């Protein structure tokens, strides 16, 4: 190395090794991985395995970035259509499996589901069972309608609970990818959140798979 310029000098016979290092670095290998590849004690099969793993990692990153680009473009379209930012931010996340007590019925419109909640809450209280988390509703209709909504109200529970003709205990399945928004405000305006999430689903090329909506509500003390 030149002490004045800090330039590093290489012998002619070192250039092939230097080029190999630069080529592997360009492929995204770490210095540790490059050291293993250059050590000369890896078999062709092991080297092939490292390259295939790197290939899979790059493809995964490209796919994730392509999806991220689609979401950015959807945001831009939304801003152009609404002339401003939506107050709802949609996030994709997994939902864990959940054991619930529930009752299901047909109500005129979603705000009329209070009777279902009263029936479920009274039964849990009579049985001495306390919910272990936020309540939620499942909307079983395949499309939005003006009246006669098929709704199942649910409370997450632990322990034993005898079932009745109307009160059931079941485990909601895990959801690998759920589009979620947070609604802050009274229940009568929750339709704004559903409208926002439906627009997002349509704009981003997704489709609903399962109950049309799964809504986590505020704690019971605030309902």
pLDDT of res. 14: 59
Give the three-state DSSP class for 40: coil
pLDDT averaged over 10-residue windows placed end to end, the chain, 223 residues:
58 66 79 77 77 89 88 78 75 90 94 93 96 91 83 94 96 89 83 84 80 49 35
Rounded-to-integer distance, Cα 151 and Cα 213, Å: 10
User: Which residues are CB-contacts of 20 (< 8 A; sequence separation ≥ 6)?
Assistant: 38
Gyration radius from the chain CA atoms: 28
DSSP reduced 3-state for 197: helix
pLDDT at 217: 41
Q: How far apart are CA 220 and CA 117, in angstroms?
A: 10
Kindly give, in sequence order, each residue whose CB lies less than 8 Å from that of residue 192, ignoring residues fewer than 6 positions away: 88, 183
Q: Any idea which residue has 């107050």 for tokens?
A: 87
Is the CATH number 3.20.80.10 carried by domain 91-222? yes
CA-to-CA distance for 179 and 194, rounded, in angstroms?
A: 11
In the numeric block, the tokens 């001495």 are attached to 128
Q: What is the pLDDT of residue 153?
A: 95
Q: Do 34 and 24 contact (CB within 8 A), yes or no?
A: yes
H-only helix segments in the chain: 15-26, 31-38, 44-82, 114-126, 191-203
Give the per-residue pLDDT at 24. Answer: 78
The per-residue pLDDT for 5 is 59
Tell me where in the chain the CATH 3.20.80.10 domain(s) lie.
Answer: 91-222
């Amino acid at each position: 190395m030149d002490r004045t310029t800090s330039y590093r000098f290489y012998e002619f016979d070192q250039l092939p090794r230097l080029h190999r290092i630069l080529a592997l670095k360009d492929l995204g290998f770490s210095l540790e991985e490059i050291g293993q590849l250059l050590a000369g004690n890896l078999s062709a099969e092991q080297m092939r395995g490292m390259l295939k793993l790197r290939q899979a990692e790059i493809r995964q990153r490209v796919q994730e970035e392509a999806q991220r680009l689609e979401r950015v473009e959807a945001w831009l379209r939304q801003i152009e259509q609404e002339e401003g930012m939506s107050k709802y931010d949609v996030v994709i996340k997994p939902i864990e499996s959940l054991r619930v007590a529930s009752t299901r019925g047909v109500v005129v419109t979603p705000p009329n589901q209070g009777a279902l909640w009263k029936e479920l809450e009274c039964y849990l209280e009579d049985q001495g069972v306390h919910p272990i988390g936020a309540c939620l509703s499942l909307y079983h209709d395949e499309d939005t309608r003006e009246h006669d909504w098929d709704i199942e109200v649910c409370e997450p529970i632990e322990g034993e609970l005898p079932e009745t003709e109307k009160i059931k205990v079941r485990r909601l399945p895990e959801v690998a990818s759920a589009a979620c928004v947070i609604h802050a405000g009274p229940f009568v305006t929750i339709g704004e959140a559903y409208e926002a999430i439906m627009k997002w689903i349509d704009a981003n090329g997704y489709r609903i798979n399962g109950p049309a909506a799964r809504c986590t509500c505020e704690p019971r003390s605030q309902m």
